[in-house]
Each structure stands twice: as structure tokens, then as C-alpha cells.
Amino acid sequence: MNDTTENALDVTRQENVTRILDAAERLFRHYGYSKTTVADIARDLGMSPANIYRFFASKVEIHQALCGRMLATAYQIAYDIRHQPVSASERLRRYVETQHQLTLDLMLDEMKVHEMIIVAIERDWHVIEKHIDRVHDLIAEIIAEGIAAGEFAEQDPVVASRCFGAATINLCHPQMVAQCLAKTNRASVDELIDYVIRALKK
């Protein structure tokens, strides 16, 4: 088999994978993750379940791939903010505000999507841990630039990044956002962001 044929097969395979993931996400959003079966996905695509299993061994694998795709979108947003030509403080603020809004839009406004995320978190999938590590790396880079510019106090940017993530987790973690949304005895988004940025300056 020559390279051209192999490339064509790779493209065809990726197109099929994308079609399956698009259909699965559409059905998960409409009916919920727990109520959707591989047979439902196959029926939606006009193919047999056996054809789905050529690409994914189970519904769990489909869900995991969807989770990875959603996290990739979230990471790209964080990456773009990290490279904006504004101060480190402003980039950190924009990152948390954007992630909080993303959580509200994708995971709470559509409760079926929220269910998908909760299942993924409960299973402690490596794709989520990898995503957290990659975001921490971006935050550490922003903090390091803030330190170099004299905007933040001298400190270990890696440790500071982890602390920043821990301090703002209830603005980005879907379960915590859901639990805190209607409570009046919690710090507001702006109050919490102001607080953690001030901490970096001391």
C-alpha cells in the first residue's frame, strides 16, 4: 500500500470518526448520555452498530473521545487568551471569566451536556487530568511573564498556577458552579478573581 492510499484511508477514517462523534453528541444532548445507545447512534447515521464498533469499542470510548474534543476546544480558548497582548493580570481575568461562561453555556444551560461531563469526572479519565495539566502550564507561563514584568511578586510560577487553579475551581468545575449558582453567601466571580490576582502581587 503506497503513501497516497494510506493517507486517503486515514482521511476516510477520520471523516467517519467525526460523523460518529457528531451524531453521538447530538443524541447525548437531546436524550442524555445514559439513555442513548450505540444502536441509537448507528440508526441516526443509517449504519449498523457493527460499523460503529469498527471505530469505537464501546459507548464509553465514544464518550471519552467527545470529552477530549470538548476539552480541546476549552484548551484552545485558554491558549488564545494566554497569547493576547495585554497584562498578565488581564489575561488571568479573561481566562477565568471565559471558562466560567463556557461552563455556564455548555454544561448548565444544557443539562444533558452537564450529565456527560459529570460522568467523565466521576470516571477520572486521563484526558481530564491531561487537560488540567496543560491549562496549569499556560497559567504558569502567564504568571512567569507577570513576575518578569514586575507585575507579580517573586514566586514559583508552577506552584502559583496550581494555587490559582484551586482558588478558582468553583468558577470552572461544573458541579461546583451548579451548586453555587443560586447561593447568595458565595464570593462573586469578580470578587474571587480580584482576590486571587491581588494574592499574586503580594
Q: What is the pLDDT of residues 120-130, one digit of tens each?
A: 767 766 788 88
N-terminal to C-terminal alpha carbon distance within the chain: 62
pLDDT of residue 79: 97
CA distance linking residue 32 with residue 91, whole number of Å: 35
Report the pLDDT value the prediction gives residue 113, as an integer from 0 to 100. Answer: 63
Q: What is the pLDDT of residue 170?
A: 85
How far from 45 is each of 24, 27, 66, CA to CA, in Å?
Answer: 10, 11, 17
Number of other CB atoms surrounding residue 74 within 10 Å: 17
Residues 114 and 177: beta-carbon distance below 8 Å: no
- Give dist(CA 39, CA 63) in Å, integer: 14
- Closest by CA to 84, choosing from 73, 71, 95, 72, is 95
H runs (alpha helix) in the chain: 3-31, 38-45, 49-53, 59-82, 88-102, 111-122, 126-148, 157-167, 174-180, 189-201
More confident residue, 49 or 108: 49
List of residues 6+ apart from 2 with CB closer than 8 A:
none
Query: Is the pLDDT higher at 92 or at 183?
Result: 92
Higher pLDDT, 186 or 143: 143
CATH 1.10.10.60-classified regions of the chain: 1-56
Q: How far apart are CA 16 and CA 132, in angstroms?
A: 29
- pTM value is 0.81
SS3 content of the chain, % helix, strand, coil (to 5): 75, 0, 25
Residue with more model confidence, 5 or 150: 150
User: In this predicted model, what pLDDT tens digit does every residue of 43-101 receive, in sequence order?
Assistant: 999 999 999 999 999 998 998 888 888 888 889 999 999 999 999 999 999 999 999 88
CATH superfamily of 58-198: Tetracycline Repressor, domain 2 (1.10.357.10)
Q: What is the CATH number of domain 1-56?
A: 1.10.10.60
Residues of the chain with CATH 1.10.357.10: 58-198
Establish how many alpha carbons lie within 13 A of residue 198's alpha carbon, considering only the half-sphere containing its beta carbon. 6
Give me the mean pLDDT over the 133-162 stretch: 97
Q: How far apart are CA 80 and CA 97, in angstroms?
A: 14
More confident position, 102 or 155: 155
Cell numbers given for 179: 451548586
Query: What's the pLDDT at 4?
Result: 59
* For residue 110, pLDDT beyond 70: no
CA 92 to chain centre: 17
